[in-house]
Structure 1
Amino acid sequence: MPNGATTHDHVLDLLALLAEEAAPARFEEVLQRARQEAPASEATGHLDDALLRIRALIGAQRQREAGLAALLDAARELSPKDDLRDILDVVIKKARGLLGLSITYVSLREDGGVSAIHASDGETTALNIGRRTPDFLGVAGEIYQKGTARWTPDYLEDSRLERDEQLDAFVRAEGLRAVLGVPLRHGDVVFGVLFGADRRVRHFTPDEVGLMITLADLAAGPIERVRLAARARAELESIERERSRSRTAHVALRHMLDVHHRAFDMVLGGCDLQSLTTLVSHTLDGTVVLRDPGGRTLASSGDIPGLVPSVADTAALEAHTRGEPVRHVDDTWTIPLVASGENLGALTVRPEVPLTEDDTALLRLVTQTLTVAMLLQRGAADTPSGDDLLNALLSGPERQLRVAERARRLSVDPQAPHVLVVARPEGRDLGRATAWASSYASRASGLKTVRDSCVALLLPGTDASAVARKVSGELSPLLDRPVSVAAAGPGQQLDAARSLYQEATRTLEAMHLLHGPGATAAASDLGFLGLLLSDHYDVDGFVTSTIGRVLDYDAHGSSDLVKTLQAYFDAGNNQRLAADVLHVHPNTVARRLERVNHLLGDAWQRPAESLQIQLALLLHRARVALVRKSAAPR
């Protein structure tokens, strides 16, 4: 760079290095040059801050890349293994390396309400393979009960956990502090837990928890495959002793394992979703359709007669709500595709002949493989989920990294005006509402997440009230019970989502207090109360929506409806006293009030509406006085 380079030049150098993904040392060279040219300038300090952020960005990117690479390695290593111990060894070593943990181990559930440790990694003094613990206590107890990941920064100091003396003694002997557990599941059944522990107090980040969950999801299929094979082998041995059905069961098992191996090999080979869908179709001898959360077809082996969009959407919603395959018209099955609680879409299968029990088990296995393929494709493209992006927008500016770019990858226009909708189901229907919201957001090119027992939707639009009514019109009949819906907006940029969410939640609580459950509105629908709830005090909008027709009538005629209304209210709603104040005949006041009745409707004299009109008149008078004052000569 020539002598006399400006801060602007240094910034351009940093941006160029970012674009070419240069090594960190080259960023340091730019900063050193800036320090030599202006050792103590404020601009150099800003460049220092920028360099720190660049380092953090590069570090986070490399950590994500390393995590994805480790997950891909784990998938490759897990695919060919048929021994449970070998599979578990891969899982615990990968988990320990991913998060830099002191100890990792896998506990699998057994009969009798206990779990047994089957594999561990790390230096231990008291952790023995085969050790049994009650499966209703500690971190494992919450995971088995709720089916979700659970972690604690300091296990022995966490008063929320149900204690077990033997378990506490083990943790104390190992010197463990932070503990993270994620479920190993088959369908909606949790059959084990992958644990990681550290010998220091540690708060696990969402990215770290997500890596462990994804690793557990990758491992669950092979583990269940081996467990299924073990059960099948036990059954075959029993059948062999009875000399019946031996050959049939063996063929079915081998076929199941061969298909699962072939599908996993295709995923690791980078095949597309259409190839996997075709494999499922040939294996089950039927028609298969893969759809995304918005109902759009991603891949198919043909058309399924009678499967109209409304039927397919309803079946997908039911499958995601129940968390298991759903059978509907003409022996057609819809299977939910879920990873870490996120709705990835649904697989619809119509076999030529009814599915057997073996076919159903095989369908679960290939569906898991299909889910892994979709996750790996997303990871390779670095595509965020709608929940992640909206959560980042609602969490504040420090979380809003590359918002526009991430939004476009989700088919969301970052420059279009958006409305924020908050919907609260009244009852235990949040799961069904969440599944519906994933589909609705995808269809509307919006975003969705779940917060505080409510579904939040960021949707394109300019009329918050109309969008709220549309959401309520779809969701309330679906749940067959009241749904409270509030909306705020529009916001011209996506970074307005946080303030819109706060306004919508305030409106939701106000509606609940005023009207009870099941109400639908935006702040603009609540009159003067909505003016107070809104982040933008739109006085002109309130006056116009309340008495705008009366103001327009006076402006285009020679009447004094506004003045008559004010005198009428000041006289305590007495027409004769109002006529004396206005120096007109009482019949004149009556005729003017009839015109007001025609303009505002019959309800304008009810207490609530009357209060709104009086407030609008007061604001109108204040506005006129301020205009006159500003126009007066000085």
Structure 2
Amino acid sequence: MTTDLRALIELVIADSPVTEAELRRAARGLDAETTGVLVDARARLDRLRARDRELSVLMSSLRELAEVRDLQPLLQKLVDRAHELMGTDLTYLSEYDEGTDELFVRANRGAVSTNMRELRVPAGVGLASKVVRTRAPQWTAAYDVGSFPRDREVTAAVQAEQMRSILGVPLIASERVLGVLFAADRSTHGFSTEQIALLTAFANQGAVILQTARLLAAEREAAARAEAASAETERRAAAMEASASLHEQLTRLVLAGEGSDAIARTLADSLGRPVAIADRDLAALATSGEEAAAWWTAGRLAPEVLAAVETSRGTARWVDVGHGEVLGLVAAMAGRTLLGVLLVGGEPLDDVQRRTVERGAQSHALVTMQRDAVTDAEERVRGELVADLVSGRGDRASLRQRAQQRGIELTGCWTPVLAVGWEQQRWSLGRTLTGLDRRWLVAQHDAGVVALVPGSPDPHDLAGRVHARLARAGDRGLVVVGGTQRVEQIAGEVADVTALSRMLPGVGVADAGVAARDYAPYLALFGANGQRARAFARGLLAPLLEWDADHRSDLVATLAAYLAQNASITRSADVLFVHPNTVKQRLERITELLGPGWRGPEQQFRLGIAVQLHRMSETDM
């Protein structure tokens, strides 16, 4: 073998690039067939070396990809390595959704517009859907959007990127299409068999890695969910254990006879939140501290809290207030009867904590019912004693002995307070009066409730205080405070106060707290039963009353208005809503019936009293 032939062979197998022209110059002197064989051998060797390099890059890329665990970074890595492997202008990957038959672009490299980001390819649209449907590579040397079913967003993305030559290969693992990997150029050209095979091989291996990453991600999510569920289970178990322990504490408090203050403190310590308990009238009964006490403004809860109370009354369950410092509340119910409200502030509660608050409300209801049972028994005994005192029944020695057995000393002075005309039931009135001062002796009396207050309190102050307390719930009624008497005279004083309470609505006093002494003239006229006053009024007004009854007229009302308006016909007409001439005609009729002397000062004075007494008698004095 000559030196020139050896150099030619070394040139054919050299690792460095060799052009065909260089090879033919070196083979000068050989026949054409031998030269052709050498050129073909060099071309095949170049292709094998290129394929070897590609496979090396492919394996290196796959090893790198196998180390990526997070799904989105893996998708981007797949695109990056495919971009380097193919050397195209644009490379991107679309994930396939089996449920909707849609594809979504998840990663790209080489894109110059934002259209490719999270691009949605509807079912059956574009080259991508054809790849999924055929489960085989698809390509085109000159992409034409009109050649495929169109979608406005997909068309805009293709045009924005100016894609012409596009190759798409499926990502298939375990017989499932996971997505499509694309390589695209902005120039028109075909794709060689080697390029298609290379991208397909990369996609096949990448699909396995992608599926593995998906499975690992699913396992991590499942593990995280299981861990979270386990932690939640442990938390709920701990919360339920704490709730059960708190329920035992509350039960012990009820059995030990503790009050609502202890319940509020125990709940506040357990929940780590401010707690308050309201009574039946929604007044503050017990609070865990100053923060809870501030929930009442001028003795009243906020409107949104009151609305939540009404909602909870129907279910006795937790209700969110949703506004202000009070987080939520539970109405303490016994059947349909409201026994109080348990209020909680601070941060939101979970389900177990809300059930705990409901148990606290039940405990308050039990304490209240227990206290009510004792109070009812005591009030019945005390009520019977008070009823005998105010009625004058029974001998004094027996009454004093019964009082001493209840720890009541009847010596000294007592002041009667009568509450009538209230919409509240009498037992509720009695409970409220007893709550003002446990030393008061309270009982149902006549149409209302009477309380015997020890000592000599200021009657106006006492009347105003009791009326304000009873009116707190929006109710209206009358409170009359009598004079201070020894127990021997208390029956007579209560009789006078009762008679006065029947008279006062007739003179327009129906919603007030008054002292009986301010209306002593009425008592002087009426006495204990008012029979003399009735006889006086009816005797003086008889002619007018008979005329009104026979003719359905209003002579008595006209006389009352005329006297009240200081004998002014015009003002009387305004009050009666009639014409002044009508008033004149009625006054002429009154003169015919009573005689001309009725206009004299003394006669008008007596007629004025008679009219007033007649009005009072109409209220069943």
TM-score when scaled to structure 1?
0.33
- Structure exhibiting the larger radius of gyration computed from Cα positions: 2
